Structure 1
Amino acid sequence: MQIVSISSLKGGVGKSSVALGLASAALENGLRTLVVDLDPHADATTGLGVHAPSRNTVGRVLAKRGKSGALGGIAVASPWSEAHDPAAGSRGSLDVAPGSSQSSHFDRATYKGSELDRLSRALTGLESRYDLVLVDCPPNLNALTRMAWAASDKVLSVAEPSLFSVAGTQRTMTAIAQFERGSRWAVDSAGVVINKVDMDSAEHQHRVRELNELFGHLVVDPVIPEHPVWQRAQGAAWPIHRWPGDDARDLAQRFSTIVRGLVNSVK
């Protein structure tokens, strides 16, 4: 079971959208996947079509100190699983550990070291159920984000091709390094996913080159372009791999390439 956190220390870069794209790709590629929604806004939960009772949320599990395997007890199937076409390949599964405002208790900069293993503990023992865990983090460096990093094998930092996002990505990568130095947890690897790219924009192409110069092999290939179809699919709470049209097919292929790279990197 590989645990991957989707992070950004700058809002508005499409972090949750990337998490949804990766979840769609994982399902299409036959992976048993769990999405853990740590963000108090719970956008990933909504986008995956899940409505869970308040007693069964990630925030409630963490408040109870993350009992061993507790996330397995609140995981619910996303309706996306029913959208999968078995003829497209081996059938995966997609569960969601729902987010809610209850997580906001940990939406703070201060924390106790003993709190950081709560998510890791809540995922213990789920290896037989899932191949991949995607953790959608809040867009800031708080206790929730640090819990996610402590539990993760890999952190993907989401960036968009803008001056401010380049600076935000630098902050994220620096924060990961500082987290490793200042705690007993180590993140095995990190990467940068470039999202919302206008393929015809000279400014965007410049920023993509800048990100590649700054982070080199850490930049994930391919980039994710900005397509109106992406907003339509998300508005319908539907997987991009099941949305019609060439633009949707292009996005789907890009997310599948990234997911296959994530899975193959640990084989």
Structure 2
Amino acid sequence: MICIAIANQKGGVGKTTTAINLATGLAATGLRVLLVDLDPQGNASTGLGVNHADRSQSSYDLLVGNCALEDAVIATRVPKLDLVAATQDLSGAEIELIEYEQRTHRLERVLAEAPAGRWDICLIDCPPSLGLLTINAMVAAQSLLVPLQCEFFALEGLSQLLQTVDRIRGRFNPGLSIMGVALTMYDRRNRLTDQVADDVRACLGDLVFTTVIPRNVRLSEAPSHGVPALIYDFRCSGSEAYMRLARELIARLPRQEEAA
């Protein structure tokens, strides 16, 4: 199973929207996908239509050892897409995990329990911070996908994230790579958007996905209906962009035998 952490310490960059719709797009291509919601806000879980009452076992329970992976997995209404939901209990996990041995490797150990062949790919939706939850995700993952909003402060935040990746490589996970940077909330009417996109591509080159995710009302509306935008309105510009991004990501995936 290939594990990809979707992370950016800056909030409001379209990280959870990317996690939901990219997972759906990957599932639509036939891949068996597991989405782990590691954000205490639980927006990925809500966006996939999982009510709080149905989250009896969550990613928090996995991290603190209260349950096994199989017990926390929820089948979503999207075929081939399973979810480990998040609850507000995760808010206190940063402090609680300090007392645990190998606290940075808790998620890695849990995902190692996944039955062989059950899922092809695991996406981890991280909180908007570089705390212990995000570190657990980066330690468990082989690759990192960074949603980056097309705005003035984007490169400054990206620099901090890349420094964190270097530290994770040096201390915990030397094999961690950057799968790519996805430009989000692109508004072609705004000249600054084009300038930021050009600056990011000049800085990171081929690491930046060709596909850009536009600002799109349908992407914002879909979570309130408890479905991904790809189901809410498959033909909207946002959904079409996420399908293109899913195909780009698949082309960058390592072969299964390399990822094993």
Tell me, yes or no, whether TM beats 0.5.
yes
| More off after superposition, 105-114 vs 43-52 | 105-114
Matching residue of 1:206: 195
| More off after superposition, 220-229 vs 183-192 | 183-192
Among 110, 114, 124, the residue aligned to 2:102: 114
Matched, 1:179 2:168: yes
Alignment of 1:155-194 (within 5 A): 155-181=144-170, 183-190=171-178, 191-194=180-183
Matched, 1:77 2:85: no
Change (3 A) 1:17 1:109: farther
Tell me if the contact between 2:138 and 2:176 (Cα under 8 Å) persists in the aligned partners.
no
Matching residue of 1:196: 185
- Bigger proportion of residues as strand: 2
Change (3 A) 1:45 1:220: same
- SS, match of residue 204 in structure 1: helix
Question: How far 1:101 sits from its partner (Å)?
Answer: 1.0
Among 256, 260, 263, the residue aligned to 2:250: 260
Alignment of 1:3-22 (within 5 A): 3-22=3-22
Tell me if the contact between 1:155 and 1:187 (Cα under 8 Å) persists in the aligned partners.
no
Among 84, 87, 112, the residue aligned to 1:100: 87
Write out per-residue CA displacement over residues 184-223 of structure 1, whole angstroms, 9 at most, x where no aligned residue.
3224311211111012321100000111122222212211
Matches of 1:139 and 1:213 in 2, distance apart?
A: 25
AA aligned opposite 2:91: S
Write out per-residue CA displacement over residues 209-260 of structure 1, whole angstroms, 9 at most, x where no aligned residue.
1111222222122111111121122332223333243525522432332342
Identity of aligned residues (%): 26
Matches of 1:198 and 1:216 in 2, distance apart?
A: 21
TM-score between the two structures when normalised by the length of structure 2: 0.88
Question: How far 1:152 sits from its partner (Å)?
Answer: 0.2
Write out per-residue CA displacement over residues 127-172 of structure 1, whole angstroms, 9 at most, x where no aligned residue.
3210010000011011100000000010111111112122111111
Unaligned runs of 5+ residues in structure 2 are none
Matched, 1:150 2:139: yes
Matches of 2:57 and 2:190 in 1, distance apart?
A: 44
How many pairs does the alignment contain? 251
Change (3 A) 1:110 1:174: farther
Tell me if the contact between 1:110 and 1:142 (Cα under 8 Å) persists in the aligned partners.
no
Matching residue of 1:87: none
Matches of 1:246 and 1:158 in 2, distance apart?
A: 20
Change (3 A) 1:164 1:61: same
Matches of 2:34 and 2:242 in 1, distance apart?
A: 19
Question: How far 1:20 sits from its partner (Å)?
Answer: 0.9
Moved over 3 A (4+): 52-55, 107-113
Unaligned runs of 5+ residues in structure 1 are 82-92
Matching residue of 2:216: 227
Matching residue of 2:61: 60
